């Protein structure tokens, strides 16, 4: 049985190899070391959860944005073997609290939710952006 004391929430990013490993561990798209380094240094706020016993980074999330009105939550990840313990909730609550505490009034907070995270985000108060929809411009190399 685990206890919340088994984990430590750290304000700041994990190490680069841990960041890339967490993305891989939850089947997020793989990024290069250069892309990962930019994510670690270019975020408005980053936090991660570390297993106190092993020292392993097991969950993370970050905020990107302009610091004025637009904030996008990204890289929400909890390793599968650590899911169901409230770690993702701890991360998302910390991210939202940072925006509430530090951002000007009336921030616009967004995220792209994959199906496994829908329940968590809805419980946190996120709703679908209707009638808008998320879109991407795939990068093509010619």
Q: Are 53 and 11 in contact (CB under 8 A)?
A: no
Q: Whose CA is closest to 95, among 22, 44, 32?
A: 44
Q: Can you give the pLDDT at residue 135?
A: 85
Tell me the residue length of the chain: 142
Query: Domains (ranges, CATH) in the chain?
Result: 4-124 (3.40.630.30)
Q: Can you give the pLDDT at residue 124?
A: 95
- The values of phi and psi at residue 105, to 5°, are -60, 150
Enter the pTM of the model: 0.92
**pLDDT at position 26 over 60:** yes
Q: Is the previous residue joined to 131 through a cis bond, with omega within 30 degrees of 0?
A: yes
**pLDDT at position 138 over 80:** yes
């Amino acid at each position: 049985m685990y206890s919340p004391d088994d984990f430590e929430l750290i304000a700041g990013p994990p190490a680069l190899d841990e960041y890339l490993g967490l993305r891989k561990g939850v089947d997020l798209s793989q990024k290069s070391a250069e892309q990962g380094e930019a994510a670690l240094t270019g975020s408005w706020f980053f936090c991660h959860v570390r297993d106190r016993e092993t020292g392993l980074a097991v969950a993370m999330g970050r905020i990107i944005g302009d610091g004025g009105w637009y904030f996008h939550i990204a890289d929400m990840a909890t390793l599968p073997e650590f899911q169901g313990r409230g770690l993702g909730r701890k991360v998302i609550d910390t991210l939202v609290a940072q925006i509430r505490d530090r951002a000007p009034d009336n921030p616009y907070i967004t995220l792209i939710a994959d199906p496994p995270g829908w329940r968590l985000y809805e419980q946190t108060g996120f709703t679908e952006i209707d009638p808008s929809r998320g879109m991407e411009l795939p990068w093509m190399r010619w």
